[in-house]
């Protein structure tokens, strides 16, 4: 009876409710439990699989927790210096315009050290997709203040909370790039719930479809969590993100093409 | 396009030679005294001639990272700048060295430190030959002494860069960048349509994914990689040394100088020999790999060596290492963007070496 039921017998098309995208590798990710990075990777992989463009896409990994993105996505990937991914991606796309190119960057990478590269790539309207993970903190280096850290928010370098008078205001990079004529599609999404995951996945799909049509820069911010850096459980972190991050970084589209 | 004789500035020669060498992309940012490279390329519309891409970046930082991106696709890509801009590129250069990517970086050196002067200098020798950025790495460094060599070394640098998967630099100076000379340009070479097997071009089912990175979290792996790099540099030292000897056969004294200073020394040799002083010149063409063996050999023949550099004395350290105490080695040079005169060079040969 039950002895006869093997894994092989169970894995039948009619029993399958979920399968890992074949664009993901079998490596265990280096992300903390409950971190949004893993989900963001997964939906990028799924879109690439669904569009069948694995052999036509080149990714650029940042410096940050996702520096090892190339261990988890089964794609040709270049690892860029901290903040320089948009410049790296610019050249890849200019030299191989027939390929798809995307960067995956976190807030320290994209909105602090890489501000110039981000703005100028968007301003030139480079035909690339930029996926921007905003978790309001420097995760990899141990929870320091990021350009996106909220007012009053504690981090290891704003231990009394971010004082905007001396430390500057949380930077809304997505709002800024939406004002640039070079960007074509700009949106802010999240991945903490299935409904949001679906929306973000749709945004990624759209961005890559627009890239095929040479429309300009597509910029997708994903407001995300950092349970370790925020010193919260995954559940607490998602609640805190919804209650505190979303009011300052409201979800939604900033720039939607006419053709939609 | 056929072989052709033209009168050009050194900077223009680099640009035209790059198009003819079949370069795929150039990424730059204006700075005197090398802006003609980008100006020439934008004027020339190489995209229409060969498909070569030209882009003015928002900074030297962006430009060198564009070079990283292009090189990692297996493309023949380059950038050029002058000293302050090359300082900005150092982060990108060490990543390129760490990811073992081939590319060409041109430095048309001006005087420093800081904003310094826009006049020619050779004060970036240490930066070019000893690493420049962080970590143990080497660039292949070529030092042209004429507009002809500015043109010729573009293709040579690309060939060496691809042969060793290593960044190559042309270390020139404002004098050679700005002066006009006759130059033979090679016929147009076709841009390569083939990709090296390590290039990121999109993962196809028939191979593993290609990853370009300089990261090794495991220190043992990083040390293995460091050893691999060092082995490559030793191989380059064994195979690729280039230099020129000038009136060395009967020399009792020796100048060692590269680039503009080497030309000054050639004239100085004429003046000195009129006075009966038998002096020759060893001109390093590759600064890394440095012509250590020949200098050591010449040190058994001559009584003393004067290096002439447009700096406070940088290459002199490598000459002293090669000579290893066998004979006196002194430095004389001008700084601040001043080109030394042959007369001064002879005077200093007399006072520092012959009389010393
Ligand atoms: C030039 C340079 N400066 C600093 C660092 C150190 N560093 C590594 S990751 C990082 C911040 C990453 O934060 P973020 O981009 O927000 O990514 P996260 O780790 O939160 O995903 C910093 C400062 C570096 N690697 N390079
Ligand atoms: S430190 Fe934060 S951002 Fe990094 S993996 Fe952990 S939870 Fe995610």
Model pLDDT for residues A156-183, shown as the tens digit of each residue: 999 999 999 999 999 999 999 999 999 9
The span from the CA of B202 to the CA of A72, in Å, is 16
Tell me whether residues A120 and B62 touch, CB distance under 8 A. Answer: yes
Q: What CATH architecture applies to the domain A33-255?
A: 3-Layer(aba) Sandwich (3.40)
SS3 B118: coil
Tell me: pLDDT of A2 over 80.
Answer: no
Beta strands in chain B (DSSP E): 4-9, 25-28, 53-56, 77-81, 103-109, 140-142, 167-173, 180-185, 211-212, 243-246, 253-256, 279-284, 286-288, 304-309, 329-333
Extract the tokens encoding B270. Answer: 């004429």
Q: Which stretches of chain B score pLDDT less than 50?
A: none
- Span B4-201+229-238: which CATH code? 3.40.50.970
Vertex A91 angle, CA A88 and A95, to 5°: 145
Equal CATH topology for B4-201+229-238 and B243-354: yes
**How many other C-beta atoms can be found within 10 angstroms of the C-beta atom of residue A12?**
8
Q: Which fold has domain B243-354?
A: Rossmann fold (3.40.50)
Q: How many residues does the structure list for chain A? A: 260
Residue range A102-131: average pLDDT? 98
For range A201-225, the mean pLDDT: 98
Which residue from B290, B163, B295, B284 is spatially nearest to B232, judged by alpha carbons? B163
| B222 close contact with A: CB closer than 8 A | no
Where along chain A do its domains lie? 33-255
Which parts of A54-190 fold into alpha helices (H)?
69-72, 85-95, 107-108, 115-124, 164-167, 173-178
Q: Where are the domains of chain B?
A: 4-201+229-238, 243-354
Non-local CB neighbours of B351 within 8 Å, separated by 6+ positions: none
* pLDDT given at position B356: 58
Q: Output the pLDDT for position B337.
A: 96
Rounded to two decimals, the ipTM of the complex is 0.96
Position A260 pLDDT exceeds 70: no
Give the closest-approach CA distance of A15 to chain B in angstroms: 28
What's the pTM value of the predicted model, to 2 decimals? 0.96
Relative orientation angle of helices B83-98 and B60-72, to the nearest 10 degrees: 30
Q: A54, B57: Cβ pair inside 8 Å?
A: no
Encode pLDDT of B302-320 as tens digits: 999 999 999 999 999 999 9
Give A 63-102 residues with CB within 8 A of chain B.
67-68, 70, 74-81, 84, 87-92, 94-96, 99
């Amino acid at each position: 009876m039950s002895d006869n039921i093997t894994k092989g017998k169970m894995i039948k098309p009619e029993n399958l409710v979920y399968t890992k995208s074949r664009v993901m590798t079998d490596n265990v990710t280096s992300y903390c439990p409950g971190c949004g990075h893993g989900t963001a990777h997964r939906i990028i992989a799924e879109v690439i699989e669904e569009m069948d463009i694995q052999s036509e896409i080149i990714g650029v990994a940042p410096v940050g927790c996702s520096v090892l993105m190339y261990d988890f996505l089964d794609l040709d990937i270049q690892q860029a210096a901290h903040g320089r991914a948009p410049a790296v991606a610019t050249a890849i796309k200019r030299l191989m315009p027939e390929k798809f190119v995307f960067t995956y960057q976190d807030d320290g990478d994209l909105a602090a050290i890489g501000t110039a590269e981000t703005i100028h790539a968007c301003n030139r309207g480079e035909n690339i997709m930029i996926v921007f993970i905003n978790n309001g903190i420097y995760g990899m280096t141990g929870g320091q203040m990021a350009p996106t850290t909220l007012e009053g928010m504690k981090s290891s370098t704003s231990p009394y909370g971010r004082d905007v008078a001396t430390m500057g205001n949380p930077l809304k990079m997505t709002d800024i790039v939406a004002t640039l004529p070079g960007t074509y599609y700009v949106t802010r999404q999240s991945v903490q719930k299935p409904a949001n995951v679906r929306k973000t996945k749709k945004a990624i799909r759209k961005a890559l479809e627009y890239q095929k049509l040479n429309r300009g820069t597509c910029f997708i911010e994903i407001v995300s969590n950092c349970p370790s850096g925020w010193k919260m459980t995954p559940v607490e972190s998602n609640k805190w993100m919804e209650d505190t991050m979303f009011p300052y970084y409201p979800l939604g589209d900033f720039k939607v093409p006419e053709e939609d | 396009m056929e072989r052709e004789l033209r009168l050009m500035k050194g900077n223009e020669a680099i640009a035209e030679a790059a198009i003819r060498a079949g370069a795929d992309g150039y990424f730059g940012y204006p700075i005197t005294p090398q802006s003609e490279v980008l100006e020439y390329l934008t004027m020339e519309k190489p995209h229409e001639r060969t498909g070569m891409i030209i882009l003015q970046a928002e900074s030297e930082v962006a430009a060198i990272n564009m070079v990283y991106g292009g090189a990692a696709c297996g493309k023949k890509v380059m950038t050029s700048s002058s000293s302050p801009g090359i300082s900005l590129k150092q982060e990108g250069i060490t990543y390129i060295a760490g990811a073992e990517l081939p590319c060409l970086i041109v430095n048309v050196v001006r005087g420093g430190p800081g904003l310094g002067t826009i006049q020619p200098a050779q004060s970036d020798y240490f930066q070019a030959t000893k690493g420049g950025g962080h970590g143990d790495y080497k660039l292949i460094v070529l030092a042209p002494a004429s507009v002809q060599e500015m043109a010729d070394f573009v293709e040579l640098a690309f060939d060496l860069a691809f042969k060793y998967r290593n960044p190559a630099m042309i270390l020139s100076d404002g004098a050679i960048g700005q002066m006009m000379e006759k130059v033979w340009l090679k016929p147009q070479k076709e841009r390569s349509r083939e990709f090296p097997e390590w290039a990121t071009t999109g993962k196809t089912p028939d191979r593993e994914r290609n990853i370009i990175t300089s990261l090794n979290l495991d220190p043992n792996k990083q040390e293995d990689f460091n050893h691999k790099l060092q082995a490559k540099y030793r191989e380059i030292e064994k195979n690729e040394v280039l230099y020129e000897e000038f009136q060395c056969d009967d020399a009792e004294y020796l100048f060692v100088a590269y680039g503009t200073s080497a030309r000054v020394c050639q004239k100085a040799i004429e003046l000195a020999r009129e006075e009966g002083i038998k002096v020759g010149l060893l001109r390093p063409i590759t600064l890394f790999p440095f012509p250590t063996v020949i200098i050591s050999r010449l040190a058994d023949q001559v009584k003393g060596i004067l290096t002439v550099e447009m700096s406070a004395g940088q290459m002199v350290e490598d000459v002293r290492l090669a000579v290893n105490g066998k004979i006196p080695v002194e430095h004389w040079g001008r700084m601040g963007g001043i080109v030394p005169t042959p007369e001064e060079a002879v005077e200093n040969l007399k006072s520092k070496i012959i009389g010393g």
